[in-house]
Copies of this chain bind each other. A is one copy, B any other.
Amino acid sequence: MEFEKTERNKVKRVPSRGHYDKQSVYEILDAGFVCHLGFEVDGQPYVIPTSYGRDGDIIYVHGATKSRLMLNMKKGIPVCLTVTHIDGIVLARSAFHHSMNYRSAIVFGTAREMSEEEKEHGLFMISENILQDRWEESRKPTPNELKATTVLRLEIEQASAKIRTGGPVDEPVDYELPIWAGVVPFETKILSPKPDDRLHEQATMAESVRKLMSNGV
């Protein structure tokens, strides 16, 4: 299954790195939990980091009912949601051919506010994307807490993924230069969980955290 390819989501620069199949886009979205959400108010663009969840072609984001993001987004304005993973720095012999290994997904859509009845599903999906099973372990939201939270539902209208992997690609003559070249890979490491100072004496390590520690992010 592919996303429609239009002027808006077409990868123009190095088109060979562009992917439009849903699987590639989903994998990049599902490998992260913080996106950068772009929207415009009175000609001024804003880019806000926020958490998200995905359910098929629907992405959920949430925020305080009174935040700028929510007050503007719920009007049904066009948004761009981007998720990026940096996998390494690519060192070429020439300054010009330096690059990065990365996976990024760019999603275009229109945000719609969810009703009081639907909200909890959106929050559940966001929570599951951040830390699977944590929702079930937690004290669930009260009606007042739900009221203080706006949840938006963004149907993916178009999307594309851009992926770079592998080593540097230099100009043919530059391979004669005795300059070190290669890739410095990065990864996100999870450190030891730090229990809250006021932990209840009967609170044992959460299963969700235990699972995260053994599976990685």
A interface residues, tally (CB under 8 Å)? 95
Is A161 an interface position by the 8 A CB rule?
Answer: no
* A167-B197 in contact (CB<8A): yes
Given A64-B13, A79-B45, A139-B93; A180-B204 close (CB under 8 Å): yes
A200–B92 alpha-carbon span in the complex (Å)? 12
Quick one: which of A177-196 are within 8 Å of B by CB?
177-196
Known A178-B201, A180-B206, A184-B212; 5 more pairs at CB < 8 Å: A92-B138, A95-B127, A95-B140, A96-B145, A177-B203
Contacts from A to B (Cβ < 8 Å): 8, 12-13, 34, 36-40, 43-49, 51, 63-64, 66-69, 78-82, 84, 86, 89, 91-96, 98, 100, 102, 104, 106, 108, 123, 127, 130-131, 134-135, 137-142, 145, 149, 167-168, 174-206, 209, 212, 217
